[in-house]
Amino acid sequence: MNSTPAHSVDPRLLAALSAETASIRLRAALAAGTHSDPALLGVLIDRCAVEPDFFVRDMLTWALTRLPGELTVPRLRAELESGGAQARSQALHTLSKIGDPALWPAITPALLRDPDDDVARSAWRAAVVLVPDAERAALATELATQLGRGDRDVRRSLSRALATLGEVITTVLHRAAVSTDPHVRGHAQATEQLLRDPEAAFDPDIDAAKRVAALDGAPC
C-alpha cells in the first residue's frame, strides 16, 4: 500500500506513471530516476506491482536503485511477502540490482520454490548474485530440487542460474542426470552441457531421457 502523501509528489508525475500509454509511463519512470526523490519510494514500489510493460518495469527498478538503500531495502523486503506475484518478482529483481550481499537471508527456500514461475525465476537470479561463497554448494542443492520444472524458458532460466554457480553444481547435476524422472534427467543433462559450453544452445532432450529411463527399468 502506498504510504507516500500525495501532496509531496508532483501530481503530473503521478498521473504520467499510470498513464494509458506505455511510452508516457516509461518517460515518467526515467524522470523519477533522473531526479530521484525519496518521496517517490512508495509510488514506485506500488507501480512495480501492477505495471504491465517489461521496459517500464525495468525503468522503475532503475529509479528505485537510485534512491537511498536504507529506505528502499526495507520496503522491498516487505514486498517479498506480498500476495501479488508481480510484487514479489519485481522486488526480487530490484534487490538483485542493488546487489548487497547482506540481502542474502531474504532469498528464502520458499521464494526459490515459489509456485509462480516468474517469482521463482527472479529468486533464482537474485540468489546467484547475492549468495556468499560459503553457501554456494547449499544453493546448488536447493536449486537442483527445481530441475524439470516448467516450460523451456523456465528450465533455461534455472540452468543459467545453476551454471553461474560454476563447478560447485557438478555433484548435484550428476545425481539428477540419473534420475528416473525423464524431465529432471533431460534438464540436468542440458545444464551440464551449458556449464561446459556457455554458448551452446539450450536443448533438454526429454524424449531421449525417457528412452534411457525406460531402458534402465527394463529387465536384463
207: in domain: yes
Question: In terms of residue numbers, what domain contains 138?
Answer: 134-220
Q: Are 217 and 180 in contact (CB under 8 A)?
A: yes
- To 5 degrees, how large is the angle CA 165–CA 121–CA 116? 145
109: in domain: no
203: in domain: yes
User: CB within 8 A of 61, min separation 6: which ones?
Assistant: 48, 90, 93, 94, 97
**pTM for this structure?**
0.85
Q: How far is CA 167 from the centre of its chain?
A: 21
User: CB within 8 A of 107, min separation 6: which ones?
Assistant: 92, 123, 126, 127, 130, 131
Nearest to 202 by CA among 214, 210, 191: 191
How much is the pLDDT for 215? 42
pLDDT tens digits along 9-67: 789 999 999 999 999 999 999 999 999 999 999 999 999 999 999 999 999 999 999 99
Q: How many Å apart are CA 46 and CA 48, to the nearest integer? A: 5
- Number of structural domains (the chain) is 1
- The grid coordinates listed for 33 are 530516476
